[in-house]
Amino acid sequence: MQYKVMMAFDDPGGGLAVTSLLERLRQHEIDLEIYCGKLSEKFLEKENRVYNKIDSMITREYAAGIMQNVRPDLLITGTGGGNAEQELRNEAFQKNIKSIVILDFWKDYARRWLYASYSLSEMRDKICVMDEFTKDEMTAENFLERNIIVTGHPYLDKIFNFSKNNSGKNNFRKNHILFLSQPLHIIGLKDYKIHPLKTFLESLKRMSSENKSEYSLNIKLHPSEEMSSEIEELKKTYDSEYLRIKFADKSSSLKDMILESEIITGYNTIAMFESRAMNRRTISLKVAPIRNSLSIAMKTAGIEVINADEVSIIECINNSKPESYGKEIFKGGIDNCIKLILSELNLN
C-alpha cells in the first residue's frame, strides 16, 4: 500500500526545515504532494520538484477543498506567519488526519497556532522540536507533553553534517562584513530611540578611524522586510571613503554573500547558523531578550552573542575568535523526523 503524504509550508524558515526531509522521503514508497508559499519556492525550484502554490492567507473553504482533493494519510507542515498551514491543520483535525508540525526556530510558540480551531488540550498535532530546552519552554506555555517530540532541527542537521557548506573557507574579503537585517518587531524590539543598525554603523566608523582601516558593509534585508526610509537614511549618513555600504540585491545568493564576508552580523536568524556551518565568524547583536533555548543553540553553533552598544561591538570585532565548531552538532534531526513520519504511517 502506498501512503499519501501532503507537505505544506509558506515561511522560508519552515520551508528550510521541512524540505530537508525530501531526499530521505524519496527512499520510501510514499506519494508526496507539496504545497508551497511564494517565499519558499526557491527551495523547490533549484531541485526541479513539482509543487502547488499556496498563499500565506487562505479561507477555511479553500483549505477544505485542498484536503478533499489530496486526501492525505498524513499532513506535514511548517509554521508560517500566515494562516495557510494552520487552516490545513484545522481540516486535518476535523477529518482525523494525522498531522506533524516541524518547528524551525526558538520563539513565538503560541503564535504559530494563532489560527487554530482547536485548543491546546484538544491538539493532536505531533510537534517536532529542536531540543529539550524548547520542549520545556513549550510545556511551560501549556502545550501538552504528549504532543511534543524532541527530534532536533532537520535543516541544521543537513547543513552542519551533510552539506559541503565550508568550501572556500578562507576566500573572504578582509574587513568585509555582511549584516543580516530583520524587521525589528519580529525580534521583539518595538519601541526604540536609536535603531541598532545606527549603533553598529557608528561602531564601524569609530573602528575605521582607530584602526586606520577601510571596512565594507553589505546589508541584506530579510525576505519579509521592506526597505525603510530610516535604513536608507542611515546608509546615506555613514557611507564614506572608509566605510563603504551597499544593500544586497534580493536575487543575490546568500551562500555567496556569506563566503565572501569575513564577519557576519545581525540579530537572530537561521541564516546565522548557515554562516557558522560555512565556518564564518558570526556575531549576534542582542537588542531584545531571547529565550534560553535559542541562546544555548547559538552558543553551540559558535555564534557570539553580544550587547548592541559601541564598546561591546568594537571589543568583539577586534577580538579574533576561532572559526570552528564541534563535530556532529545538531546531528539526528533528519533521522528522527523521518522515523516519526514512518511511525505515523505505520511503516516501521
CATH number at residue 228: 3.40.50.2000
Same domain? For 90 and 178 the reply is: no
Same domain? For 183 and 269 the reply is: yes
Helices (H) and strands (E) in the chain, counts: 14, 13
Same domain? For 184 and 309 the reply is: yes
Q: Is residue 325 part of a domain?
A: no
User: Is the sign of the CA dihedral 45, 51, 53, 57 positive or negative?
Assistant: negative
Q: Cβ neighbours of residue 135 under 8 Å, at least 6 residues apart?
A: 129, 145, 148, 150
Cell numbers placing 73: 494519510
Same domain? For 187 and 281 the reply is: yes
Q: Measure Cα distances from 73 to 14, 24, 92, 100, 289 in Å.
A: 21, 18, 9, 11, 40
Give the pLDDT of residue 324. 62
Q: Is residue 220 part of a domain?
A: yes
| Cα-trace Rg, the chain | 21
Q: Measure Cα distances from 348 to 28, 254, 335, 339 in Å.
A: 11, 38, 13, 8
- DSSP letter at 248? P
Number of domains observed in the structure of the chain: 2
Long-range Cβ contact pairs of 280-288 (< 8 A, separation 24 or more): 280/172, 280/323, 281/321, 281/323, 283/313, 283/316, 283/317, 285/196, 285/200, 285/313, 287/184, 287/187, 287/189, 287/192, 287/196, 288/187, 288/188, 288/189
Q: Is residue 276 part of a domain?
A: yes
Q: Is residue 163 part of a domain?
A: no
Q: Is residue 120 part of a domain?
A: yes
> End-to-end distance of the chain based on CA atoms, in angstroms?
14
Give the pLDDT of residue 165. 62
| Predicted confidence pLDDT, tens digits, the chain (348 residues) | 789 999 999 999 999 999 999 999 999 989 999 999 998 988 887 667 899 999 999 999 999 999 999 999 999 999 988 999 999 999 999 999 999 999 999 999 999 999 999 999 999 999 999 999 999 999 999 999 999 999 999 999 999 998 776 555 668 899 999 999 999 888 888 888 899 999 999 999 999 988 889 999 999 998 888 899 999 999 999 999 999 999 999 889 999 999 999 999 999 999 999 999 999 999 999 999 999 999 999 999 999 999 999 999 999 999 877 666 666 899 999 999 999 999 999 987
Same domain? For 136 and 246 the reply is: no
Cell numbers placing 132: 529539550
Which residues are paired to 177 by β-bridges?
217, 263
Same domain? For 97 and 55 the reply is: yes
Q: Is residue 131 part of a domain?
A: yes
Element (H, E) at 60: helix 60-70
User: Is the sign of the CA dihedral 156, 159, 161, 167 positive or negative?
Assistant: negative
Same domain? For 211 and 287 the reply is: yes
Q: Measure Cα distances from 293 to 67, 80, 90, 135, 137 in Å.
A: 35, 20, 28, 9, 8
Same domain? For 177 and 308 the reply is: yes
Give the pLDDT of residue 168. 52
Same domain? For 123 and 200 the reply is: no
Domain enclosing residue 273, as ranges: 173-318
Q: Is residue 161 part of a domain?
A: no
How many other CB atoms are found less than 10 A from the CB of residue 36? 23
**CA pair distance 62, 286, nearest whole angstrom:** 41
Same domain? For 8 and 122 the reply is: yes
CA atoms within 13 A on the CB side of 169: 8
Same domain? For 9 and 132 the reply is: yes
Same domain? For 304 and 235 the reply is: yes
Q: Is residue 323 part of a domain?
A: no
Give the pLDDT of residue 45. 77
Give the pLDDT of residue 323. 60
**CA pair distance 144, 120, nearest whole angstrom:** 7
**CA pair distance 82, 249, nearest whole angstrom:** 25
**CA pair distance 143, 130, nearest whole angstrom:** 15
pTM, two decimals, is: 0.93
CA atoms within 13 A on the CB side of 23: 12
Using CA atoms of 256, 262, 267, 272 in order, give the dihedral in degrees to the nearest 10. 50
Strands (E), 240-303: 243-247, 261-266, 281-286
